[in-house]
Structures are given as structure tokens and as C-alpha cells.
Amino acid sequence: MQAIKNQSWKKRLEAKEKRIEKMKDITSSRIIPTNKIVQALETLIQSGDRVVLEGNNQKQASFLSAALAKVDPEKIYHLHMIMSSISRPEHLDLFEYGIANKVDFSYAGTQSLRMAQMLEDGKLTMGEIHTYVELYGRLFIDLIPSVALVAADKADAAGNLYTGPNTEETPTLVEAAAFRDGIVIAQVNELVDELPRVDIPGSWIDYVVVADKPYQLEPLFTRDPRHITDIQVLQAMMIIRGIYEKHQVKSLNHGIGYNTAAVELLLPTYGEKLGLKGKICKHWALNPHPTLIPAIESGWVESVHCFGGEVGMENYVSSRRDVFFTGRDGSLRSNRTLCQLAGQYAVDLFVGSSLQIDAYGNSSTVTRGRLAGFGGAPNMGHDPGGRRHSSEAWLDMNTTNDPLARGKKLVVQVVETFQNGNKPVFVESLDALDVKNDAGLATAPIMIYGEDVTHIVTEEGIAYLYKANSMEERRQAIAAIAGVTPIGLEHDARKTDKLRREGLIALPEDLGIRRTDAKRSLLAAKNVEELVEWSDGLYEPPAKFRSW
């Protein structure tokens, strides 16, 4: 076999250089004038390109996404969009206008209803619904982007970027394009002569544009303790006593929710009373939740690695360097990719929630008419087969005498038996099965598979699914704590005592918890103002959370 003579091995680079050559009429430097961004995008992007647009569940490259939606669809069309989070109206406007026609994503959030309708109407073609790490991984394999559009706080004239506390996924997106001769454009809030620190080197960046206003940033992980209910306090007490203490959980991730916020706020009170400080909940993969402040201040938390920042927590994080990962400037260094991996492999436990759970513990947030996606829950909410390091909690999931047996990650689903609107959480068949057929997906969009779930917690009690020896036992345990949902009504109450004796379920009374003790008065902080007090005034909550 002979090598091909005179073959160019720089086709991607040559194609990039041609695009950049056309930019000379727009800018003579790497700085794109703000008012010329649409023209620049029409010059640098070509029809059919794969375009990765930063839009995670917090930080949005909002200036660039709005500009992309203004390009001429006669010039730019059939783009294949790759987005972690479809969160802004113009993300879907791209498809309405014919600029883009295909999307691969992880989470749709507020745009989930519109996306489902557009898919039904044939206005977009869907690649796959991914987990975050899965999508990031494919950027380096078969979804390598032609163009990356990202956001940062500041840039200097050389294109070095400072991302501040919200580094998030930016380095991963940039690297996938920059090192395969793609084009990288970063919107920044301001140009400065000297950066507080360099988070992404200028050699990775092709162009910088100063946005007409700061990028969108939502306080997504802030939960006002005023809205935590007595039922959520009861669930939190069961989690602490019946899971964290029972299995000696030292490293963990909490999903977003009032039920996990309640756990965080009970550590300095109920957890202290149980004598658990120093024994559980020491190492976290978690955004800087304001509701974690009392646990930090009272000495429960040793370390927190963050996916991203949280609005208002900047000064607090900078003042607690022993707990958080920070740069020389004192600001948080977050990293969504690395924190997802930490949450997948390094922690002992993940606690999440869901919109629907079936009789065997399979769950999904994809329901009829809502194409919400998953985010990072499946990354952290499964037992990673590649794990080799052991811990007390991990080993405690082993229920056999097999000499080759391994431990298992604790995956906990905490839900109330009914959602808002009196919709049952526990159902015989997940809507995700219908969505699979309607959307033409190869597999049903399951968020967490039942085989990975070790515990389910409801207001009725805990199901210890890792102890089940058969699918029938698993179903019985789930039904026993499913209340008056369709699954719960199947349960034969005469089997409850047997399940309790065998340790397959535990009611609050089995854990030494009196339901009448589950009151909001147990919370270490009962409103945002008290969180500010715990922080010595360092936490500066957004205006919408201020009630004083």
C-alpha cells in the first residue's frame, strides 16, 4: 500500500485561515467591535457547521446566542447546534428561523415545553439527550465543533480570559474547538489591561467581543428556607438517620431541591444532636449552596468542589479558602466537567429527585409534553463500574459473600408521593416510553435506571432497594413507601411488618424519629436573612431573595 502523494494534512487549518482572512474588513485585531458581531458571525460560521454554544444551567453566552439568532438564514443555515442547556428563547429561535436544524443537548429546563412542541412540529431534528459528561466527551470524538461560542468575565488584549467564580464548562468547550482548528469566540463583560488570573490562555482564543451587557447568570442553586415544609424536614431527618448515619457517608453530592436544602440545614441541629459531626458529610461535590453556610460555619464541612458559582456567594467563598477551591485572587475556581467526574467517581452518595418513578425504581424527568433532559443526574446517579477505591459507605452496599464482590455507590431518590397538581410520582409506566416513540428515539430517555438506585425516600419511609433479592422484592419495597399512588395502592399492608423486619423498608418510627418532631423549628436557618447572619454578612443574596 502506497501513501497518497502531495496530500495536505492541514485541511482544517487551511479552512480556518480562509475564514479568518475574511475578517480583515471587520477587525485588524482579535477584538470584534460590539456592533459588528452579527457580521462577524456571518463571516466566521458556514452553513452545516457544528456550533457549540455555551449555555449551561447557570451561565449563558447570552450576547452571542442573541447575535447568532440575527444572522441571515439565507447565508447561514443547517447548523448543528451542541448545547449543554437550552435555556433561552433564542436557542430555539435558531430553529424557527431556519438557521439551525439539528441539536444535541443535555437539559432544556424552561424551554422544555416549547422544544417538545417544535420536535412534534418537525421544526428541529434531535441528535441525542446526553448527560453533561457524555456530551463533553463527544466533543472530542464525533461531535467536534467547527465553532465555539463562550462567555467569560474579562479579557485582555492578548485574548486571555478570566472566568471568575463561574468557569463552569468554558475550558472544555474551548479546548474541543481550539485544538482541532475550530474557531473560538468569547464574549466578555469588559476588556482590561491586567486580569486577576488567567483561566483560559489567549492562544486558545481567536476572537473576543465585549457584550452590550453582562452575560446572563441565574441564582439557580439558592433555596429560601422559608419554603421548606415540615414534610421535607421529616424526609431530611430520615436521610440523615437512616442513610448518612447508617452507612457512614462522608463524601456526597446533593441535587437542587428543598428536600436536600433541609438536610443541609439540619446538620448543625439534628445532626449535632445525634453526635455525627466529623463522621458524615465532610467532602462535597456541590455548587456553593447558601443553605450549606450553617454547616460550614459550625465545622461540618471540610471541602467543597463546585460545578459553578452562585450569585451572591462570591465574598463568602473568598473568605472560606480552607473549604473551597479558589485562585490566588481569592475567587472560586469552578469546573463543571471535573466536578461532574468527581460526583461520578469520587463521592460515596448522590441524592436526587424525579418527576416520575416506576414500580422498579426507574425514573425520568422527561414527561409528556416536556423534553427536559437530564443534566448531570445520570453522571452522578449511577454506580460507576470503573470505581476501584473503597470506602465504608461503598462497601456497606455489598450484601453477598462472593470473594470478588465489590461495593456500590449510594444513589438516593427523595420524592414526595405526589407532585404539585396532585400528580402521582409513582406510576406503572413512565411517560419517557411514550416520548421515545413520539420523538423517534432509539432508547427511552431514562434519567436514572432502577438497577442503580439503592434507596428511595418518601414521606412514608425509606426503601432499602440494595437489599432486595429479586425484582418482586424491589417492587414490594417501593410500593410500601409509595403512599396512595397507583403503585402504592398495590401494596398489601400485611406485608409491611415483614419488610420492616427484613430491613427492606424503614418507617420513621423504626429510625427513632417521631413524626411530630419534624418541624421547621429544627432548621439552622429559617429564612435567607438568617443565612446572611450565619455568614457574618458575607453572603449577599440577590434582591428577589431579600424579604427584609
Task: Report pLDDT digits (tens) over 521-543.
Answer: 999 999 999 999 999 999 999 99
pLDDT at 131 over 90: yes
Cell 438564514 locates to: 73
- The SS3 assignment for 34 reads helix
Q: Radius of gyration of the chain from Cα atoms?
A: 25
Q: How confident is the model at residue 154 (pLDDT cuts 50, 70, 90)?
A: very high
Q: Is the confidence at residue 369, as pLDDT, over 80?
A: no
Alpha carbons 252 and 233: distance in angstroms, whole number: 19
State the pLDDT at residue 113.
87
Q: Helix/strand/coil (H, E, C) string of 433-486?
A: HHHHHHHCCCCCCCCECHHHCCEEECCCCEEEHHHCCCHHHHHHHHHHCCCCCC
User: What does the alpha-carbon distance between residue 96 and residue 275 come to, in Å, rounded to a whole number?
Assistant: 58
CA distance 83 to 90: 12
H, E, C per residue of 84-95:
EECCCHHHHHHH
Quick check: 260 pLDDT over 70?
Answer: yes
Indicate the pLDDT class of residue 514, thresholds 50, 70 and 90: very high
Tell me the mean pLDDT in the region 351-374: 89
How many C-beta atoms lie closer than 10 Å to residue 74's C-beta? Answer: 8
Q: Is the pTM of this model over 0.85?
A: yes
Q: 35-217 and 225-528 share one CATH topology?
A: yes
For 277, the 3-state DSSP assignment is strand
Residue 112, pLDDT score: 86
Band of residue 457 on the pLDDT scale cut at 50, 70, 90: very high
pLDDT at 240 over 90: yes
What is the Cα–Cα distance from 358 to 350, expressed in whole angstroms?
A: 19
Classify residue 29 by its DSSP letter.
Answer: S
Question: CA of 271: how far to CAs of 247, 276, 281, 290, in Å?
Answer: 14, 6, 10, 18
DSSP 363-386: EES-BTTB--B-BTHHHHSS--TT
How many whole angstroms from its chain centre is CA 223?
16
Distance CA 546, CA 450 (A): 40
Domain boundaries 225-528, corresponding CATH code: 3.40.1080.10
Spatial distance between the Cα atoms of 273 and 275, rounded to a whole number of angstroms: 5
CA nearest 212: which of 184, 191, 189? 189
How big is the CA angle at 267 (ends 311 and 291), to the nearest 5 degrees? Answer: 15
What is the full DSSP assignment across 187-216? EEEEE-SS-SS-SB-GGG-SEEEE-SSPPE
Q: Helix 258-266 and helix 230-239: axis angle, to 10°?
A: 60
Contact 259, 225 (CB under 8 A): no
User: If you average pLDDT over every residue of the chain, what do you get?
Assistant: 95
Q: What percent of the chain has pLDDT over 70?
A: 99
CB neighbours of 131 closer than 8 A, spacing ≥ 6?
106, 340, 374, 375, 376, 377, 378, 379
Please give the DSSP secondary-structure letter assigned to residue 313. Answer: -
Q: What pLDDT score was predicted for residue 1?
A: 63
Beta-carbon contacts of 124 under 8 Å, excluding residues fewer than 6 positions away, are 92, 95, 100, 101, 102, 103, 115, 118
**What torsion, rounded to 10 degrees, do the Cα atoms 458, 460, 465, 471 define?**
-110
The CATH class given to the 35-217 domain equals alpha beta
Length of the chain: 548
* pLDDT, tens only, 17-57: 999 999 999 999 999 999 999 999 999 999 999 999 998 87
Cell, residue 104: 444535541
Spatial CA neighbour of 481 closest among 503, 507, 501:
507
Closest-CA residue to 308 (of 354, 256, 349): 256
Confidence class for position 440, pLDDT limits 50, 70, 90: confident
Where in the chain are the domains? 35-217, 225-528
Mean pLDDT comparison of 210-219, 228-237, 250-259, 415-424, highest-scoring range: 228-237
Q: How confident is the model at residue 478 (pLDDT cuts 50, 70, 90)?
A: very high
